[in-house]
Amino acid sequence: MYKPCMMKKMTAFGITLILSAVFLFGCGKEAETEEAEEDTSIEVEVQNPQIKNITVSANFSATVVAESEVKVIPLVSGEVVEKNFDVGDHVNAGDLLFKIDDEPYQIALKQAQASVTTAQAGYTQAKAALNQTEANANTTRAKAIQDIGEIPYNEQSKNYAVDSAYVSKRKANNALKDAEDNVEVTEDTLEDYKAARDAAGSALETAKNNGASADRIAELESLYATADARVESAENSLDSAKRAADNAEMGYELSRESYGLAEMERYNYNTYTKATTIYGAYASAVGADSSVTSSKATVTSSAAGIQSAEAGLESAQLNLDHTNVKAPVSGTITGIDVSLHNMASQQSAAYTIQSDEPCKVVFYVAEETARNILPGTGAVVTKNGVDYEASIISVYDTIDASTGLFRVEASVTGQDAKNLIAGSSVSIKTVTRKADNALSVPIDSVYYEGEKAFLYVADGNKARKVFVTTGLSDDTMVEILDGIKAEDRVVITWDGSLRDGSELRVQGSSAGNNAKPVSEVSAKNGAAMTIVDEGEEPAAGAGDIE
């Protein structure tokens, strides 16, 4: 059997171990016979697999890379009225490098302030107009509601007018019939009176012709006069009855026309006026809402005008502030391209400053390592025995042509970072692989049979050999991907005589890794082990103890 932690031991040492094993096993033959009846169980310690984060870190050679030269380009143009510092001078971030004539920008600032005032006044006016529009809209909506609410009343009123006209027409019709009947009766009476008068006249004429007495004639004359007076009275009554009938007929026609007019008015109201009232009320309400919406839009536009004016004011203030051109970083001035009373342009750099601060630490790694290093991972940069906290900021996904590796950049944090000189070589250590919440066991509890990993689990008082799939490992623990469960009791005591089914004496459980290095255990037990250098492929079954 061989252990991963022993891969760097020399082969010569392994041969020495083999010879020692042969010697020890040969001399101990008789002792085995004598102790055959003794307790052959193996004393071991066990522990449950642990859940822990396993990380693997590596050191790399790196180079401190300085920030690129900072080109100071003015954000506004104008005449340079003040100029400070020369090439070679050191400046601190915030130092005034030069000043541009600010008079045009002062004027622009005042204009922007006036625009803000105007926009605010427009907003106030728009708000007042909105309030008035909303008040008018409320009135219009109330009127529309009232008009629609009056429709049932108006319908009832029209119905009442029709009913009243109908009653009047009926009365006029009855009056006309009565008047016509009265004319007929009066005409009949007149005819009777005329017949009585004619009879009285004939009797008077006959009496006169026959020589009736004067008394008789006087009597007949009186009867004739009475009959004649009745005829005249009946004629007068007939004239009155006819005039009354004419008036009744006229009243009937008028009442009939009034009834027709009332019906027409009701029809027109139900057919046209009511619909017009409803649509008119709806249209007025919609128009009122539209007016309010329009006024609100004006207010919104005015508010946007204020924002635009304020943005213009901020821009004007920024432009005024930009007339004072300051150093963005601390460093040494390496170039100046402006002079007093000449124009500074936004198209060209005025000052060039070499930054004091190192920007980053650069190192190169192989592809597999590059895939496992994540931006944001912490790192430690070491220079002359001094450590500096750092953080990985980028991992390039393309191969660097000059190195054939992948470029990785780290940012150094803290005030002491300025002690790192651009271009100097440093060492950087960072996590290259990580397994979170890994089911893990002590690395010395894992055995190998060829390329297959296995360990022993205490199954009662017997050892049970379990093949496992290993993952990431650090100096003490190895990740187990498959083969055991968290409740299994893993044998953490290395013993060359362990076999599947060996009797065990469990001494208790351990929460830590107390197993001795496999090299020590192998030497003490005289176990045969082939140890190879890193990168060598061991022979199949190397290190197995039979």
| pLDDT tens column, 176-209 | 999 999 999 999 999 999 999 999 999 999 999 9
Distance, CA of 486 to CA of 148 (rounded, Å):
81
- Which segments of 268-347 are extended strands (E)? 324-326, 331-336, 343-344
Q: What is the pLDDT of residue 357?
A: 67
List the one residue out of 403, 382, 381 whose CA is nearest residue 392.
381
Mean of pLDDT values over 452-467: 94
Give SS3 for 158: helix
Q: What is the pLDDT of residue 3?
A: 43
Residue 344, pLDDT above cutoff 70: yes
Burial class (CB in 10 A: 0-12, 13-18, 19+), 398: exposed
Q: For 65-105, what is each residue's pLDDT tens digit? A: 866 678 899 999 999 999 999 998 999 999 999 999 999 99
Q: What is the pLDDT of residue 355?
A: 78
Task: Indicate the domain borders of the chain.
Answer: 39-65+362-515, 72-98+324-355, 137-318
- At residue 485, what are phi and psi to the nearest 5 degrees? -120, 165
Distance, CA of 332 to CA of 42 (rounded, Å):
73
Residue 531, pLDDT above cutoff 50: no
Q: Which residues pair with 435 in a beta bridge?
A: 54
Give SS3 for 249: helix
Q: For 45-74, what is each residue's pLDDT tens digit? A: 999 999 988 888 899 999 988 666 788 999
Half-sphere exposure in the Cβ direction for 440 (13 Å, CA):
25
Question: Could you tell me the CA-to-CA distances from 504 to 13, 459, 489 in Å, in that order?
Answer: 31, 9, 12
Residue 264, pLDDT above cutoff 90: yes
Mean of pLDDT values over 424-448: 91
Band (pLDDT 50/70/90 cuts) for residue 31 is very low
Amino acid at 130: L
Do residues 488 and 48 lie in contact, with contact meaning Cβ atoms separated by under 8 Å? yes
Band (pLDDT 50/70/90 cuts) for residue 358 is low
Give SS3 for 279: helix
Q: Which residues pair with 391 in a beta bridge?
A: 378, 411
Mean of pLDDT values over 521-530: 32
Residue 421, pLDDT above cutoff 60: yes
Give SS3 for 132: helix
More confident residue, 331 or 301: 301
Mean of pLDDT values over 443-451: 91
Q: What is the pLDDT of residue 23?
A: 44
More confident residue, 323 or 25: 323
Distance, CA of 419 to CA of 430 (rounded, Å):
21
Do residues 543 and 518 lie in contact, with contact meaning Cβ atoms separated by under 8 Å? no
Amino acid at 504: L
Q: Which fold has domain 137-318?
A: Helix Hairpins (1.10.287)
Band (pLDDT 50/70/90 cuts) for residue 330 is confident
Mean of pLDDT values over 277-296: 92
Burial 238-266 (b: 16+ CB within 10 A, else e): beebbebbeebbebbeebbebbeebeebb
Q: For 383-416, what is each residue's pLDDT tens digit? A: 999 999 999 999 999 999 999 999 999 988 776 7
Q: What is the pLDDT of residue 521?
A: 33
Residue 147, pLDDT above cutoff 50: yes
CATH architecture of the domain 72-98+324-355 equals Beta Barrel (2.40)
Mean of pLDDT values over 351-358: 78
Q: For 488-525, what is each residue's pLDDT tens digit? A: 999 998 888 899 999 999 885 444 443 333 333 333 33
The answer to whether domain 39-65+362-515 has CATH 3.40.50.300 is no
Band (pLDDT 50/70/90 cuts) for residue 331 is confident
Do residues 432 and 57 lie in contact, with contact meaning Cβ atoms separated by under 8 Å? yes
Distance, CA of 534 to CA of 545 (rounded, Å):
22
- At residue 37, what are phi and psi to the nearest 5 degrees? -90, 0
Q: What is the pLDDT of residue 129?
A: 94
Distance, CA of 390 to CA of 334 (rounded, Å):
29
Q: What is the pLDDT of residue 25?
A: 46
Q: What is the pLDDT of residue 6?
A: 36
Q: What is the pLDDT of residue 508?
A: 56
Residue 9, pLDDT above cutoff 80: no
Q: How many CB atoms lie within 10 A of CB 394?
A: 14
More confident residue, 258 or 544: 258
Q: Which of 235-239, 352-356, 494-498 has the lowest mean pLDDT?
A: 352-356
